[in-house]
Copies of this chain bind each other. A is one copy, B any other.
Amino acid sequence: MKEKLKVGYVGLGGRGHGQMSLSLDMKDIEVVAVCDVYPDRVQRALNTIAKKRPEIVAKGYADYRELVKDPELDCVVVTSSWQTHARIAEAAMRAGKPTAIEVGGASSLEECWRLVRAYEETGSPCMMLENCCYGETEMALYDMVDKGQFGELVHMQGAYAHDLRDEITHGLINRHYRFRNFQHRNGELYPTHALGPLAKMLRINRGNRFLTLVSMASKSRGLNTYIKDKFGEDHEYAKINWCEGDIVTTLIKCANGETITLQHDDSLPRAYSRELRVQGDRGIYEEDGDRYIIDGKSEIKGWDYEWFKFSEDLPQNDHPLWKWFKEKGVEGGHGGMDYLVQRAFYESIMKGVEPPIDVYDTAAWMCITCLSEQSVSMGSMPVPIPDFTNGLWMQREEEPKTKYSLNKVHYDLFED
């Protein structure tokens, strides 16, 4: 049981710097090494550390292969671009470091398998920092699902629906990896914010697994229209042939017969939503509309049902971890989710237990991206999703039913 951790951060763009700053707010975490290919980012990070935690003597690196070898480090957090997550994480794991990676999709199945192999050969854990797994809504849903309020799960939906036209078209200026991904790829580029929590509810890799997917992409119009309106017809970006369809819809079939509809919707005008839906044989929850129905409790009015307001009933459905979090005082970005997911990673290392999102989860969630590209490119052919556990999903220990939680570590904390 460690009381403190020394952490290295690799990738210091907007997200990396933000996550590192949050870690610096934690008294038991010392960020002692930072790394980026851009020297200005490394310097900015060192300045932030010096300002927030003047007692820390931190090192700057340009090459992650050097950072991961640093014997001082207890763990590594990878917050780089999507297409570099896996190779950096693999290097850190093979250097013996427990490793966290930010969210993002895989470029190939091979890089997912490399993470799995690195874990199985070294024992170094690998956890995706999927913050939405720790959303208050999502965690309340874990408990409601576990209590059987929706009955047996049948169908789930989710999306990353976020108008990123402004962010994407500033891509080359702010060195944002989304630009090149939208320019060159066509598929479910960002699956995990919705899929992570849904996979946890469906107990994927713990008695269930993803079997197959199909994806279909619409034409691409949003970015070109936006660029022409904002920068004019003659702007260099207006001539780009963006490959990413504005709407990419993916259907996933699970071993236990459930289906998942997932949507990537980032280049059209719209309000933000993860569009979660949880549907069982005794009830339904919908994020859009902030509502749910429980069969037998909701009154039936002709063709319609009485919807309960989810947020109004949250006090009675709130997850114990979130009750604790609110009493303690919510902190960290994205409404507290960033804090919780970081703590889950750090505390699993301190206590020497497996992280609540493990390498099999990470691989299963990331692979959706490259598989959806394959399906789109083959005219929506179904594509098999690998079993990264090689059969162990059927026998992997289930989290205790009465304590259904992503994070037993935190649960213990709460109960102490």
Chain A residues at the B interface, C-beta cutoff of 8 Å:
151-152, 154-155, 162-163, 212, 214, 216-219, 221-222, 225-226, 245-247, 249, 251, 253, 256-259, 261, 263, 265, 268-272, 279-284, 286, 288-289, 293-295, 298, 303-305, 307, 379-382
Contacts and interface: CB of A to CB of B under 8 A. Distances in A.
A245 B286 CA distance: 20
Contact of A259 (B216, B284, B289): B216
Copies of this chain in the oligomer:
2
A235 to B, nearest CB: 17
Given A279-B247, A281-B268, A307-B271, A154 B222 contact: yes
18 contacts: A151-B221, A154-B219, A155-B246, A155-B268, A162-B303, A214-B382, A216-B251, A221-B281, A222-B281, A225-B281, A251-B251, A268-B280, A269-B282, A269-B283, A269-B298, A271-B307, A272-B303, A272-B304
A381 to B, nearest CB: 6
A116 to B, nearest CB: 25
Contact of A249 (B212, B221, B259, B284): B259
A307 B225 CA distance: 21
A100 B163 CA distance: 44
Contacts of A249: 251, 259, 261
A227 B262 CA distance: 31
Contact of A282 (B225, B245, B293): B225
A225 to B, nearest CB: 4
Q: Which 5 A-B pairs have the closest CB atoms?
A: A219-B257, A269-B295, A155-B247, A272-B303, A218-B259
Nearest to A261: B249
Contacts of A271: 293, 303-305, 307
A152 B379 CA distance: 23
Contacts of A284: 268-270
B259 A163 contact: no
A214 B216 contact: yes
B379 A247 contact: no
Nearest to A297: B269
A266 to B, nearest CB: 12
B218 A258 contact: yes
B268 A154 contact: yes
Contacts of A270: 279, 284, 293, 305
